[in-house]
Structure 1
Amino acid sequence: MMSNELLVVDSLDPVLVRPASAVPSPAPALPSWDAIRVRLTAWEAKFRAARSVATLKAVRADWQVFLGWCEASRVWALPVASQDLLRFLTDQVVFGKKRSTLDRYVNTIRLIHKGAGLPDPTHYPDWKLDWQAIVIRLADLDANAPEQAEPMRTAHVRQILASLGDAPLDLRDAALISLASDTLCRESELAVLKVENIRRAGDGWSVDLRRSKTDQAGLGTARYCSPAAKARLDAWCASAGIERGYLFIPVGKGRTFTAPPPKERRPLGAVQVARILRRRAVRAGVPGGVLLTGHSGRVGSAIEMLEAGATIAEVQFAGGWKSPRMVLHYGKQALAGSNAMAKLRAAQAQKEPGEQKED
């Protein structure tokens, strides 16, 4: 299976498509299976050209889950009846799925119905009420809040760096972990960085991201790179003979290593970046190191910036978030210690140092 294939049409059994004869006569007639197949095939080609590989993988995976449920439940997938969609979502809650996963399922199902030219199964008067009932059920199960990666703070980064030596593998991982903390880059963004992405920025350095999860159009953004991180990058590149092309590539465990020519060089995968971070943290004895992910540097730096007094907007810009929602989620504990009530109590304490503490 190619990573850029959706397989929406190929995986859709015609028996899962509701025939026109199954629709009561007052309702609008449905297109035939052949017409749906032709339209979906054309839509798939356009969608593949307009979306990232990660998006294609997510849509494909979600669609397969939904088709599997429809087949097991003996219901039509296209167009799915609204009550069947609600049954599907309710079953997913029972299976332990989180709110974020259900949101994705709904978006995928609506997307493919639109691509097929079929009615949106959520377009009926009581959808908001029915969906809210599911949300309340998720809340009862503590399944509404998005998952948060274990934060990797500056102290953890220093602990990991102190455990590394001067072998090529150590030099590469030191540069990778330093850059993860400075730039707040996602693992997928770190994996494909090139020498050409490191640029002068005033008296310091920046990492020029040409494309990212939230910038598929490739408008580009810049992230901070500290002098210490730049020095580690330089040490790694000098050791491996890297002058251009991908920065982070597979390395053996020997004491010497020379990178292949840029045209033959292949970058680490996003999964490998996450494994490196976690493995190095565990070996360095970082508390909770086994729980770290490729997003841990991103989360830890965001929290520390908020604790240092940075605004939500400043953190959002530093990490390339499209909205402040995830910044607020990551920093809710830090923000609780510096919100308006915390400032009020601090000001009151300064004015009345002899005031007795409340029970």
Structure 2
Amino acid sequence: MENESSLPVLVPTRNHALVELPFSVSRYVEAGLQGAQNTKRGYAADLRSFEDYCQHHQVTYLPAEVTTVAGYVSQMADRGMKLATIRRHVAAIAKLHQLAGQPSPTGHEALQIVLDGIARILGKRQQQAPAFTVAELKQAVRAMDITTPTGLRDRALLLLGFAGAFRRSELVALQVEDLELTHHALVIHLRRSKTNQYGQEEDKAVFYAPNADFCPVRAVQEWTACLGRTTGPLFTRMHRGSKSRAAQPGTAPLSDQSVNDLVQRHLGPLYSAHSLRASFVTVAVEAGQSNKAIKNQTKQKTDAMIERYARLDDVKRFNAAQYLGL
């Protein structure tokens, strides 16, 4: 019988061909196909929804027909789901077929026409998380009860999330040992991010603020002192306290949704966790910072992404007509 380790690995490609590669590269093939953990979790939820749809309509789940996927995305559009969400579901279906070595219906021209029609009807302009002002952030911080561990955590997360232009996934992944306090700044060593899927370490620097009440570095220092440890998740869930004692830090990290809930609790329901990052870009652009300086913090790759993230559509606040010299 042929040794299993000598068998070739069949790799499905985007044009549905199968390429034979040596078994010795199998672990790299698996990592490349599966993708990042956050992406895998999102795809899993989307595929459960697609499978439920197929079972309800008694159609084949894998391989799926073009008409099946077209009906599925049309139903999502009819339910008022966002275009970005619909496209994410389509990407999940494409990944499912790629992993199974099956031709994917998602690249069919007929489905692309359906998606273009959905885009026209729903509108290509996506509802974006608004940017808050620095004044709004300070007002939210002032309202916190920082005599409690929960208040210390929430203040540190909001100030660090804003000053560091963090994604929610990055905030919940941060470990205490990722922090390095220097004389000039707090340096955060990112192990992995949405734009850094391959694990090269990236650094963000967060600087001291003149007012200690709104200083992200001091806020993080006070929170880590409350944690009382030098390793493990930085932002954690709280253990419910007794009537005479406030909730205390736990060991389990916050979830992505918890970060979103925290932002809305303190800044209002109009905002989301993504507002932390959008607000950083907007405030930095308004302050005249260069795209290079902004990208050093956001880790975005292109200037076009700066334009996408900046919320500069307030005609009263951002308008060259103010500077005509009349």
Deviation at 1:304, TM superposition (A): 1.1
- The whole-number CA distance in structure 2 between the counterparts of 1:259 and 1:118 is 47
Q: Specify the alignment match of 2:99 in structure 1.
A: 115
Matches within 5 A, 1:99-178: 99-124=83-108, 127=109, 131-142=112-123, 144-164=124-144, 165-178=146-159
- Flag the 1:204–1:334 CA change in 2: closer, same or farther, 3 A: farther
Q: Which runs of 5+ in 2 are unaligned?
A: 1-25, 209-214
- Flag the 1:201–1:138 CA change in 2: closer, same or farther, 3 A: same
- The whole-number CA distance in structure 2 between the counterparts of 1:225 and 1:160 is 20
Deviation at 1:223, TM superposition (A): 1.7
Q: Which stretch of structure 1 is more off in the superposition, 223-232 or 323-332?
A: 323-332
- Flag the 1:321–1:132 CA change in 2: closer, same or farther, 3 A: farther
Deviation at 1:179, TM superposition (A): 0.5
Deviation at 1:50, TM superposition (A): 4.3
- Flag the 1:95–1:163 CA change in 2: closer, same or farther, 3 A: closer
Q: Spell out, residue by residue over 1:155-193, the C-alpha distance to the aligned partner (whole angstroms, 9 max, x if none).
A: 122112212333332222222211011111122222232
- The whole-number CA distance in structure 2 between the counterparts of 1:338 and 1:313 is 24
Q: Specify the alignment match of 2:234 in structure 1.
A: 247
Higher strand fraction (1 or 2): 2
- Flag the 1:170–1:338 CA change in 2: closer, same or farther, 3 A: closer
* Residue 199, structure 1, aligned to residue 180, structure 2: yes
**Structure 2 counterpart of 1:148, one-letter code:** Q
Deviation at 1:131, TM superposition (A): 1.8
**Structure 1 counterpart of 2:191, one-letter code:** R
- Flag the 1:273–1:130 CA change in 2: closer, same or farther, 3 A: closer
Q: Judge conservation of contact 1:114–1:120 (CA < 8 Å) in 2.
A: yes
- The whole-number CA distance in structure 2 between the counterparts of 1:100 and 1:311 is 29
* Residue 66, structure 1, aligned to residue 47, structure 2: no
- The whole-number CA distance in structure 1 between the counterparts of 2:68 and 2:235 is 47
**Structure 1 counterpart of 2:252, one-letter code:** R
Q: Specify the alignment match of 2:65 in structure 1.
A: 81
Identity %: 24
Q: Judge conservation of contact 1:93–1:138 (CA < 8 Å) in 2.
A: no
**Structure 1 counterpart of 2:84, one-letter code:** S
Deviation at 1:323, TM superposition (A): 4.7
Q: Specify the alignment match of 1:18 in structure 2.
A: none
Q: Judge conservation of contact 2:180–2:186 (CA < 8 Å) in 1.
A: yes
* Number of aligned residue pairs: 290
**Structure 2 counterpart of 1:276, one-letter code:** L
Deviation at 1:259, TM superposition (A): 6.1
- The whole-number CA distance in structure 2 between the counterparts of 1:279 and 1:332 is 21
- Flag the 1:79–1:242 CA change in 2: closer, same or farther, 3 A: closer
- The whole-number CA distance in structure 2 between the counterparts of 1:110 and 1:49 is 12
Q: Spell out, residue by residue over 1:107-140, the C-alpha distance to the aligned partner (whole angstroms, 9 max, x if none).
A: 222222222222232455xx1x752453244332
Equivalent in 220, 230, 236 of residue 201 of structure 2: 220
* Residue 302, structure 1, aligned to residue 281, structure 2: yes
Q: Specify the alignment match of 1:52 in structure 2.
A: 36
* Residue 277, structure 1, aligned to residue 263, structure 2: yes
Q: Which runs of 5+ in 1 are unaligned?
A: 1-41, 282-288, 354-359
> Secondary structure at 1:118's aligned position in 2?
coil
- The whole-number CA distance in structure 2 between the counterparts of 1:310 and 1:336 is 20
Deviation at 1:202, TM superposition (A): 6.9
Q: Which stretch of structure 1 is more off in the superposition, 209-218 or 78-87?
A: 78-87
Structure with greater Cα Rg = 1
> Secondary structure at 1:266's aligned position in 2?
strand
**Structure 1 counterpart of 2:175, one-letter code:** K
- The whole-number CA distance in structure 2 between the counterparts of 1:295 and 1:130 is 30
TM-score, length basis structure 1? 0.68
Deviation at 1:332, TM superposition (A): 5.1
**Structure 2 counterpart of 1:230, one-letter code:** V
- Flag the 1:243–1:257 CA change in 2: closer, same or farther, 3 A: farther
Q: Which stretch of structure 1 is more off in the superposition, 223-232 or 307-316?
A: 307-316
Equivalent in 96, 109, 114 of residue 80 of structure 2: 96
Q: CA RMSD in A?
A: 3.4
> Secondary structure at 2:203's aligned position in 1?
strand
